[in-house]
Amino acid sequence: MITLGTFMSIWDDVIGERDRQVLAAGGYVKPLGLTGPGERPAVLVIDVVIDLVGDKPEPILESIKRFPRSCGDTGWEAVYRIKELLDVARMKRVPVIYSKEEQGTGIDCWRHEASSHHHDTSKEQQIPQAIQPLPEDIVINKRKTSVFFGTPLMSYLNFLRVDTLIVTGGITSGCVRATVTDAYAYNFKVVLVEECIFDRAEISHKVNLFEMHQKYGDLATVDQVAAYLKGIPSASTSSVSDRESNLQ
């Protein structure tokens, strides 16, 4: 088991002593780090698009003037750490799956918290250049919070025989949490990469990471997850294109 040792939890300043004692007594508190990832991981990059990070690194109060749902520089800090993780994943030929919001109409449309603001809808669903998908990556358009809901994600994961989802992206309290709870329900091992997940509200980010770590997955650092990926045999992973060619 890999743990963070003396590393301070991101939620230490928002989870009170009374709650710590109650959760510890109930058996919910567990060590930080990787406690049991599988042998066939995939990296999931959830909704890391201009709409949620802005088109350049800048303070959130500046970024939301043009992109009202943006997380600003917090989102961009995650983008650069995701890039580090993707470099390792691709070196080991680990599948990479992106999600984006598909804009619907009527009952299927997204409820935008800041819909009264005017912003550049032509670019809001673009993925930042630093982490652009490669031809062999999978990009899924979704209309609800969870990447599983109403999408072919589960069929891709079955096809690739994935047993572990390495989760990155945003928003922690929204699409990340919804996807993680679904992944847990489908019996995947879940790894949450701390520096690669973001939210516009600090308290929502910290509390949701705390709850997901206790119940649905492992919270680990980029360095820990990179070490895990480097340690798996490259032969145990394959891209969709590789497997499709084998079927022809």
Break the chain into its structural domains and give their ranges.
Answer: 31-100+119-247
Query: Domain 31-100+119-247 adopts which CATH fold?
Result: Rossmann fold (3.40.50)
pLDDT tens-digit readout, 58-84: 999 999 999 999 999 999 999 999 999
pTM: 0.86
CA distance 220 to 248: 39
How many CA atoms does the CB half-sphere of 143 hold within 13 Å? 10
Amino acid at position 6, single letter: T
Lowest-confidence pick of 18-27, 194-203, 215-224: 18-27
User: Quick count: other Cβ atoms within 10 Å of Cβ 112?
Assistant: 14
pLDDT band at 101 (very low <50, low <70, confident <90, very high): confident
**pLDDT, average across residues 26-43:** 87
Q: What tokens were used for 80?
A: 């650069």
Top-confidence residue, 204 or 235 = 204
Angle among Cα 149, 33, 89 to the nearest 5 degrees reads 60
What pairing do the DSSP bridges indicate for beta strands 218-220 and 41-46? unpaired
Share of the chain above pLDDT 90, in %: 68
Q: What tokens were used for 16?
A: 């009170």
pLDDT band at 114 (very low <50, low <70, confident <90, very high): very low
List the beta strands (DSSP E) in the chain.
41-46, 96-101, 138-142, 164-170, 189-198, 218-220
User: Quick count: other Cβ atoms within 10 Å of Cβ 121?
Assistant: 9
Residue 237 has pLDDT above 90, yes or no: no
CA distance 22 to 1: 25
Predicted local confidence at residue 120, as pLDDT: 47
Q: What tokens were used for 99?
A: 């999600």
User: Quick count: other Cβ atoms within 10 Å of Cβ 227?
Assistant: 14
**pLDDT, average across residues 45-49:** 97
